[in-house]
Amino acid sequence: MAQESYVIRSSSRRTRTMTAFREGGDLVVVVPEHMSGRQRREMVPGLVERFLAKEARQRPPRADSELTARAVELYRTYVASHTDGPEPAIGVRWVGNMASRWGSCTIQTGEIRISERLRTMPNWVVDYVLLHEVTHLAEREHSARFWGIVNAHAESQRARGFLEGVDFTGRHAQE
Protein backbone atom coordinates (compact mmCIF):
# COMPACT_ATOMS: atom_id res chain seq x y z
CA MET A 1 0.00 0.00 0.00
CA ALA A 2 1.31 3.49 -0.85
CA GLN A 3 2.60 5.37 2.16
CA GLU A 4 1.06 8.73 2.89
CA SER A 5 2.54 11.54 4.97
CA TYR A 6 0.91 12.22 8.31
CA VAL A 7 1.08 14.52 11.31
CA ILE A 8 1.72 13.10 14.79
CA ARG A 9 0.20 14.88 17.78
CA SER A 10 0.89 14.06 21.41
CA SER A 11 -2.01 14.09 23.83
CA SER A 12 -1.95 14.09 27.62
CA ARG A 13 -5.54 12.79 27.54
CA ARG A 14 -4.49 9.61 25.70
CA THR A 15 -2.85 7.17 28.05
CA ARG A 16 -2.70 3.84 26.19
CA THR A 17 -4.21 4.06 22.71
CA MET A 18 -3.47 5.81 19.44
CA THR A 19 -5.97 7.08 16.89
CA ALA A 20 -5.88 8.26 13.29
CA PHE A 21 -8.34 10.50 11.47
CA ARG A 22 -8.66 13.01 8.65
CA GLU A 23 -8.58 16.70 9.42
CA GLY A 24 -9.21 18.63 6.25
CA GLY A 25 -7.23 16.52 3.81
CA ASP A 26 -4.44 15.71 6.28
CA LEU A 27 -3.95 12.40 8.06
CA VAL A 28 -3.49 13.02 11.79
CA VAL A 29 -2.24 10.43 14.29
CA VAL A 30 -2.72 11.15 18.00
CA VAL A 31 -0.45 9.26 20.40
CA PRO A 32 -0.05 9.24 24.20
CA GLU A 33 2.24 12.03 25.37
CA HIS A 34 4.51 9.58 27.22
CA MET A 35 5.15 7.41 24.11
CA SER A 36 8.86 7.31 23.24
CA GLY A 37 10.25 8.13 19.82
CA ARG A 38 11.20 4.47 19.32
CA GLN A 39 7.65 3.32 20.16
CA ARG A 40 6.25 5.88 17.73
CA ARG A 41 8.56 4.70 14.91
CA GLU A 42 7.55 1.09 15.57
CA MET A 43 3.80 1.49 16.10
CA VAL A 44 2.56 4.49 14.10
CA PRO A 45 3.29 3.11 10.58
CA GLY A 46 1.14 0.04 11.31
CA LEU A 47 -1.74 2.22 12.52
CA VAL A 48 -1.43 4.42 9.42
CA GLU A 49 -1.43 1.36 7.16
CA ARG A 50 -4.58 -0.04 8.84
CA PHE A 51 -6.28 3.37 8.67
CA LEU A 52 -5.52 3.75 4.94
CA ALA A 53 -6.71 0.20 4.24
CA LYS A 54 -9.99 0.85 6.08
CA GLU A 55 -10.41 4.18 4.29
CA ALA A 56 -9.88 2.48 0.91
CA ARG A 57 -12.52 -0.15 1.75
CA GLN A 58 -15.02 2.55 2.70
CA ARG A 59 -14.67 4.46 -0.56
CA PRO A 60 -17.67 3.66 -2.71
CA PRO A 61 -16.83 1.41 -5.68
CA ARG A 62 -17.59 2.20 -9.32
CA ALA A 63 -18.33 5.85 -8.66
CA ASP A 64 -19.19 8.05 -11.62
CA SER A 65 -16.62 10.87 -11.43
CA GLU A 66 -18.85 13.58 -12.92
CA LEU A 67 -21.80 12.76 -10.64
CA THR A 68 -19.50 12.44 -7.64
CA ALA A 69 -17.93 15.84 -8.31
CA ARG A 70 -21.39 17.40 -8.58
CA ALA A 71 -22.53 15.72 -5.35
CA VAL A 72 -19.44 16.97 -3.50
CA GLU A 73 -20.06 20.49 -4.82
CA LEU A 74 -23.70 20.36 -3.66
CA TYR A 75 -22.62 19.01 -0.25
CA ARG A 76 -20.12 21.85 0.19
CA THR A 77 -22.57 24.51 -0.99
CA TYR A 78 -25.70 23.47 0.89
CA VAL A 79 -24.91 20.90 3.59
CA ALA A 80 -21.41 21.45 5.03
CA SER A 81 -22.33 24.59 6.95
CA HIS A 82 -25.06 22.64 8.78
CA THR A 83 -22.76 20.02 10.30
CA ASP A 84 -19.75 20.04 12.61
CA GLY A 85 -18.46 16.70 11.31
CA PRO A 86 -15.77 16.20 8.70
CA GLU A 87 -16.73 16.04 5.05
CA PRO A 88 -17.69 12.45 4.27
CA ALA A 89 -16.26 10.40 1.43
CA ILE A 90 -18.91 10.64 -1.30
CA GLY A 91 -19.27 8.39 -4.32
CA VAL A 92 -22.17 8.35 -6.77
CA ARG A 93 -23.07 5.81 -9.41
CA TRP A 94 -25.95 5.16 -11.78
CA VAL A 95 -28.03 2.04 -11.12
CA GLY A 96 -30.68 0.43 -13.27
CA ASN A 97 -32.58 -1.52 -10.64
CA MET A 98 -34.53 1.34 -9.03
CA ALA A 99 -38.13 1.09 -10.06
CA SER A 100 -39.75 3.08 -7.27
CA ARG A 101 -37.04 5.48 -6.05
CA TRP A 102 -34.92 8.16 -7.67
CA GLY A 103 -31.93 7.69 -5.40
CA SER A 104 -30.64 6.09 -2.26
CA CYS A 105 -27.77 6.67 0.13
CA THR A 106 -25.73 4.45 2.43
CA ILE A 107 -24.87 6.87 5.21
CA GLN A 108 -22.04 4.77 6.66
CA THR A 109 -20.04 4.70 3.41
CA GLY A 110 -21.23 7.82 1.56
CA GLU A 111 -22.29 5.65 -1.39
CA ILE A 112 -25.12 7.20 -3.37
CA ARG A 113 -27.02 5.34 -6.07
CA ILE A 114 -28.99 7.31 -8.64
CA SER A 115 -31.66 5.79 -10.88
CA GLU A 116 -30.77 5.41 -14.55
CA ARG A 117 -34.18 6.96 -15.27
CA LEU A 118 -32.68 10.34 -14.31
CA ARG A 119 -30.08 10.26 -17.13
CA THR A 120 -32.47 11.89 -19.60
CA MET A 121 -33.84 14.48 -17.18
CA PRO A 122 -32.70 18.09 -16.84
CA ASN A 123 -29.58 18.76 -14.75
CA TRP A 124 -31.56 20.71 -12.15
CA VAL A 125 -33.65 17.58 -11.49
CA VAL A 126 -30.52 15.41 -11.09
CA ASP A 127 -29.06 18.11 -8.80
CA TYR A 128 -32.18 17.98 -6.64
CA VAL A 129 -31.93 14.19 -6.22
CA LEU A 130 -28.18 14.42 -5.50
CA LEU A 131 -28.78 17.18 -2.95
CA HIS A 132 -31.54 15.13 -1.32
CA GLU A 133 -29.17 12.18 -0.94
CA VAL A 134 -26.09 14.13 0.24
CA THR A 135 -28.26 15.90 2.81
CA HIS A 136 -28.87 12.48 4.36
CA LEU A 137 -25.14 12.34 5.14
CA ALA A 138 -25.72 15.12 7.69
CA GLU A 139 -29.39 14.63 8.53
CA ARG A 140 -30.69 11.04 8.43
CA GLU A 141 -34.40 11.70 8.79
CA HIS A 142 -36.71 13.82 6.64
CA SER A 143 -36.91 16.37 9.45
CA ALA A 144 -37.67 20.08 9.20
CA ARG A 145 -33.90 20.68 9.28
CA PHE A 146 -33.42 18.22 6.39
CA TRP A 147 -36.06 19.93 4.25
CA GLY A 148 -34.65 23.36 5.16
CA ILE A 149 -31.31 22.33 3.66
CA VAL A 150 -32.85 20.74 0.55
CA ASN A 151 -35.26 23.62 -0.04
CA ALA A 152 -32.39 26.13 0.00
CA HIS A 153 -31.70 24.97 -3.57
CA ALA A 154 -33.54 27.35 -5.91
CA GLU A 155 -34.95 24.55 -8.09
CA SER A 156 -36.02 22.11 -5.36
CA GLN A 157 -39.78 22.72 -5.53
CA ARG A 158 -39.75 22.71 -9.32
CA ALA A 159 -37.71 19.48 -9.42
CA ARG A 160 -39.96 17.78 -6.87
CA GLY A 161 -42.99 18.71 -8.98
CA PHE A 162 -41.26 17.47 -12.12
CA LEU A 163 -40.52 14.09 -10.51
CA GLU A 164 -44.07 13.81 -9.17
CA GLY A 165 -45.34 14.45 -12.70
CA VAL A 166 -43.05 11.75 -14.11
CA ASP A 167 -44.27 9.32 -11.43
CA PHE A 168 -47.91 10.17 -12.12
CA THR A 169 -47.50 9.76 -15.87
CA GLY A 170 -45.68 6.46 -15.42
CA ARG A 171 -48.37 5.04 -13.14
CA HIS A 172 -51.27 6.15 -15.32
CA ALA A 173 -49.69 5.17 -18.64
CA GLN A 174 -49.99 1.55 -17.52
CA GLU A 175 -53.77 1.75 -17.06
Pairing mode, if any, of strands 111-115 and 91-95? Answer: parallel
Alpha helices in the chain (DSSP H): 37-58, 65-74, 123-135, 144-150, 156-173
Question: Using an 8 Å Cβ cutoff, are 115 and 100 in contact?
Answer: no
- The full set of domains in the chain, from first to last, is 7-58 (no CATH), 65-173 (3.30.2010.10)
Tens of pLDDT along the chain (175 residues)? 456 789 999 999 999 999 998 887 789 999 999 999 999 999 999 999 998 888 776 654 456 889 999 999 999 999 999 998 888 999 999 998 887 899 999 988 999 999 989 988 999 999 999 999 999 999 999 999 999 999 999 999 999 999 999 988 877 765 5
Q: How many CA atoms lie within 13 A of 155 on its CB side?
A: 14
pTM: 0.64
Amino acid in the structure at residue 55: E
